[in-house]
């Protein structure tokens, strides 16, 4: 699926609005299927046959009872079960993290990506929401906080995300630092080992990102970025992503229904 991206630049930050153009009913359904597939595919990496069975169901063949039960086990964190669903708020938060994951992996993003962390099973679990490492002559990283929002202006979600990232960034990066120790390139391994130091020192390679999945767009919603992360010294080290999906609560419930049944 191709997303429409519109980039904006302010004095101290940049942000991008990402959406399926106009998101008609067919577009919303297509995006819901993309998000559901991203969730199933990454949660069942250790059991690829479960993903294969779900894809078969997506194409019209109902899941057998045993596979349905196994699938429900993988989906319970963040979504609950059909007989006891998670709160709509938790479902929206989980969907928001996967919208970010899909947008960051979009080949039209035009960045030489080294790593995009996959979303956690449970969006409220301890730890960071997302980390990106990319190469632009040298290595850079972006630490992301991801929020969902349904209302008239997503500015409040941006402010909340900035506050959370300010308070927890170093701890999140400490948890991420071991990811790179399995890499074969010594330079990449050393880069991951220095994530916390680079953030605390305001190294030019360190960047902060706030993503909001929202029902609406707002031209000034990322202004809070200009008042946060003053220690970061790189070129426009603050960035935002606004993923607009129309009626976010309805969209998230459709994703949940697809996950449980494939239909």
pLDDT of residue 24: 65
What's the pLDDT at 99? 96
- Can you give the pLDDT at residue 169? 98
Q: Both tokens of residue 237?
A: 């080290």
Check if the beta carbon of residue 245 is closer than 8 Å to that of residue 99.
Answer: yes
Q: Where are the alpha helices (DSSP H) in the chain?
A: 25-43, 48-58, 65-79, 88-105, 155-176, 186-193, 195-201, 248-261
* Spatial separation of the C-alpha atoms in residues 104 and 38, rounded to whole Å: 12
Task: Indicate the helix (H) or strand (E) that contains 116.
Answer: strand 112-116
What's the rounded Cα separation, in Å, for the pair 14 and 9?
A: 4
DSSP helix/strand/coil, 243: strand
pLDDT in tens, the chain (263 residues): 667 888 999 989 999 999 875 566 678 888 999 999 999 999 999 999 999 999 999 888 888 899 999 999 999 999 999 999 999 999 999 999 999 999 998 866 667 899 999 999 888 888 999 999 999 889 999 999 999 998 888 999 999 999 999 999 999 999 999 998 888 889 999 999 999 999 999 999 999 999 999 988 888 899 999 999 999 998 889 999 999 988 899 999 999 999 998 87
Closest CA to 203 of 179, 227, 173, 223: 173
pLDDT at 27: 80
């Amino acid at each position: 699926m191709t997303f429409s991206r519109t980039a904006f630049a302010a004095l101290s930050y940049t942000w991008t609005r990402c959406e399926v153009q106009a998101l008609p009913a067919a577009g919303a359904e297509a995006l819901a299927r993309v998000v559901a597939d991203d969730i199933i595919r990454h949660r069942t990496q250790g059991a690829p046959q479960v993903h294969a069975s779900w894809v078969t169901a997506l194409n019209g063949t109902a899941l057998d009872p045993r596979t349905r039960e196994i699938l429900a086990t993988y989906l319970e964190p963040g979504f609950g079960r059909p007989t006891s669903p998670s709160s709509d708020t938790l479902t929206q938060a989980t969907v928001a993290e996967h919208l970010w994951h899909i947008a960051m992996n979009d080949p039209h993003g035009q960045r030489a990506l080294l790593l995009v962390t996959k979303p956690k099973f449970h969006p409220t679990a301890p730890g960071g929401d997302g980390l990106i490492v990319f190469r632009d002559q040298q290595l850079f990283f972006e630490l992301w906080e991801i929020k969902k929002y349904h209302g008239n202006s997503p500015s409040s979600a941006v402010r909340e995300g900035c506050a959370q990232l300010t308070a927890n960034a170093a701890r999140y990066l400490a948890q991420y630092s071991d990811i790179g120790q399995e890499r074969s390139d010594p330079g990449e391994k050393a880069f991951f080992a220095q994530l916390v130091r680079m953030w605390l020192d305001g190294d030019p390679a360190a960047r902060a990102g706030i993503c909001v999945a929202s029902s609406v767009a707002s031209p000034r919603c990322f202004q809070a970025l200009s008042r946060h992360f003053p220690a970061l010294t790189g070129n426009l080290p603050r960035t935002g992503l606004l993923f607009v999906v129309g009626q976010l609560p309805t969209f998230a419930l459709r994703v949940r229904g697809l996950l449980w049944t494939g239909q």
